Amino acid sequence: MQAHLATALATALACLFLSAAPVAAKEFVLVDSATSIRDQDRSISSKDLGVTSGQGFSISTRTLHGGKQEGVEVIEVDNGRMTFSVIPTRGMNVFRVQSGDVTLGWDSPVDEIVNPAFVNLDSRNGLGWLDGFNEMLVRCGFEWAGHPGMDDGKLLTLHGRAGNTPASKVVVVVDDEAPHRIHVRGRVDDKVFKFVDYEAWTDVSTEPGSSSLRISDTLTNRADYEREFQLIYHGNFGPPLLEEGSRFVAAVKQVTPFNDDAAKDLATWTTYRGPTKGFGEQVYNVVPYAKDDGSTTVMLRNRAADRGVAISYDVNALPYFSLWKNTDTLKEGYVTGLEPGTGFAYPRRIERRFGRVPKLAPGASRSFVLDYAILFDQQSVDATARDIAAIEGERKTTTVAKPEVASESE
């Protein structure tokens, strides 16, 4: 019976994608809360779509079972050179990216992809977000982001709700025209009666045969009132890129330690220790330099400078950057976060004090585009370092020795 159903689904899928002529590519809806659509697990390839030129690729979906990952939906894309997983159940987060011997992501003690149904954001005084934290890329927002804290009598939990909100609509699109860019699109809503009505269309895409990933998101305020918003792109990297002697490279206008503990190691803030028991974490607040068009690039590279990841984005949209260093033991989570954002990771009431909580007018939208590129050799790492040096030019870095605030509880 199961075999018969699988054959029937495969036949229906083939008809869906191959009914039009000439066939190049299609759009298909996996989830739509408006019509209660939820597609069954499926797999589709470039061959099925009639795409015969260029690098072959495939897209598959599956549902996880067991433990706290029960019911989590995963979309896996293989572009012929690189694979990555998008998690619609967890706010369209990107779980892992793999190409050759380079992995973008990290090993968290949280080893299942946790269904948000098992995450209580209010637990541990607002740190419940950590119960499901293990992805390569998490969007923090949208009503608020940053560390937990009270604001106008309400507890705002760690990094907002977006990363634990299932997408209300999920669509996979393959462009008709070469190079047939593959898109995984999802709508993630942050809505609360009387407080906020945000709609975020997220887009995770890649070109077949490439070693880069693009995040292209649009946040829209659907309310009739102007609303505050915050957004941090929490990108997380462990071995093999992170090791003793790894380095963060960027064109930096200003760097400030997040707190007193980070201030102690300010002289070595761009370099990393090996796994260190009892290290805890350190954060540095960075204001980057950019080109005339507003674009900038940052890089994490390994000790040998022959592997790395580069992130390019527009500082007009994301003017601030947080470098999170969590070089604890491998078992506890050896990881660093490279985090472009609309502000830093202080609680919202503190960010508001410094003018780093933007607002959206009724019906207004903001767009955010980030490109993540894997660097496979010394030549590409060196070329990226030269590009970053060109952004900085003769401009100097201002190092602020003391944190902006004495403590997060201020």
What band does 284 get if pLDDT is binned at 50, 70 and 90?
Answer: very high
Q: What pairing do the DSSP bridges indicate for beta strands 93-99 and 227-228? A: unpaired
> CA 284, 285, 291, 295 torsion: positive or negative?
positive
Chain segment 8-65, per-residue pLDDT in tens: 334 333 433 333 333 334 787 888 888 887 777 778 899 988 888 889 999 999 999 9
What band does 406 get if pLDDT is binned at 50, 70 and 90?
Answer: confident
- 322: Cβ contacts below 8 Å, ≥ 6 apart: 232, 258, 283, 284, 285, 286, 337, 339, 341, 344, 345
Chain segment 354-384, per-residue pLDDT in tens: 999 999 999 999 999 999 999 999 999 999 9
Q: Which domains does the chain have, with CATH numbers?
A: 2-399 (2.70.98.10)
Residue 83 has pLDDT above 90, yes or no: yes
More confident residue, 276 or 6: 276
Residue 96 has pLDDT above 70, yes or no: yes
Residue 66 has pLDDT above 50, yes or no: yes
What band does 407 get if pLDDT is binned at 50, 70 and 90?
Answer: low
Dist. CA 132–CA 130, nearest whole Å: 5
Chain segment 302-334, per-residue pLDDT in tens: 999 999 999 999 999 999 999 999 999 999 999
What band does 121 get if pLDDT is binned at 50, 70 and 90?
Answer: very high
Q: Which two tokens stand for residue 243?
A: 């090791």
Chain segment 200-220, per-residue pLDDT in tens: 999 999 999 999 999 999 999
Q: In this structure, are residues 408 and 149 in contact, taking their beta carbons and an 8 Å threshold?
A: yes
* pTM of the predicted protein model: 0.92
Q: What is the mean pLDDT of residues 122-136?
A: 98
Q: What pairing do the DSSP bridges indicate for beta strands 212-221 and 365-375? A: antiparallel
- 292: Cβ contacts below 8 Å, ≥ 6 apart: none
pLDDT at site 7? 37
Dist. CA 215–CA 234, nearest whole Å: 12
Which residues pair with residue 160 across a beta bridge? 141
For the chain, give the mean pLDDT: 92
The structure tokens 């947080």 sit at 322
